[in-house]
Amino acid sequence: MSETEATVEARRQMEICNACRYCEGYCAVFPAMTLRREFTTGDLTHLANLCHSCKGCYHSCQYAPPHPFGVNVPQTFATIRAESYAEYAWPAPMGRLFERNGTVVTLVAFLAVTLVLLLTMALQDPAILYTAQTGVGAFFRVIPYWLMVGLASLSFGYALLAMGMGALRYWRGTAPGAGQKPITVAPVAQAAFDILTLRNLGGGGHGCNDLDDSFAQKRRWLHHAMFYGFMLCFAATTTGAIYHHFLGWKSPHAFLSLPVQFGTWGGVLLCIGTAGLLWVKTVTDPGPVAKRLLGGEYAMLGLLFLVGITGLLLLVIRHTGAMGVTLAIHLGLVLALFLVMPYSKMVHGLYRGLALLRNAQEKRR
């Protein structure tokens, strides 16, 4: 990764922290820091993505502002994380989208919803958007199956490719020579455990400083709700595809069917997680926060919330005349989510997972 003002500042702070060692047991970052005496930009990028921004180090640091040393690890690392997303984005020119991420996410969401509505009205009788559709294949009478699957497949496929290429560039950039070293089962299992339990969002075990210098587990549980809600929604789509292609059972499915149950509980958890995290961001102590990044974070959480809430609304009104417009809006928002995934805060989960894998490897060496 290129040298920036943020990496220069992070190197200064890490040298102070490495001499102090007060926060050594707070999270995964500080034990990883103590393995180093000098910090390359790759090392700093790795440590920044290993940081879960629990803010415990900021509230306990004797050198935090207003001390002249001005050590503010969560804020500095948040800036480096954002720079790493742009640095390793694929294709490389698309990294510029991170500069005004809030505007980009909002604009893409608006355009995607508009596109789906216009395509639906162009290919179908516009009146069908306002007419109740019931029975087998009701959704496909509003939006043709080929259009629904085509847009979703192309956008999601591109998102996977772009994120995969970005992850490969990140891995090579932060762990030079890693391609020559075998990745064994043990570090993969440890990284998977850390990802699935969000252990590092527990600070040193007593919680994070979500709002102020008091400890709480709010952000950890809200991240759990958002992550597992998203995965349940993905499971709903997957089982729905299996029902359609292999079992010949076409949507809309019964309420107690697997796709509907996965989607319902996934949507509920997704809405709870995103709404809760939006609330936490508005009331948290602004000291350790990188304020210029908030616009993109608010926009992404807002988009995820809208995807979840429109999915739940679609379940409630799917047998009424409002189903057509709601379906088009929901699919437009899903399309927007897929398009912005590689160029938004969504990539942080992928890079953080790789940082946890590298950390697990280092601990075993």
Task: Work out the percent of the chain whose per-residue pLDDT is above 90.
Answer: 70
- The pLDDT value recorded for residue 75 is 96
pTM over 0.85: yes
**pLDDT average, residue stretch 189-216:** 83
For residue 19, give Cα distances in angstroms to 22, 67, 73, 299, 327: 9, 16, 15, 39, 57
- The pLDDT value recorded for residue 202 is 73
What is the residue extent of each domain of the chain? 5-87, 97-364
Are 354 and 168 in contact by the 8 Å Cβ rule? The answer is: no
Tens of pLDDT, residues 318-350: 989 999 999 999 999 999 999 999 999 999 999
Has residue 88 got a pLDDT over 90? yes
Q: Which residues pair with 289 in a beta bridge?
A: none
CA distance 210 to 201: 10
Has residue 178 got a pLDDT over 60? no
274 against 138, higher pLDDT: 274
Tens of pLDDT, residues 279-315: 999 999 899 999 999 999 999 999 999 999 999 999 9
Q: How confident is the model at residue 153 (pLDDT cuts 50, 70, 90)?
A: very high
Has residue 180 got a pLDDT over 70? no
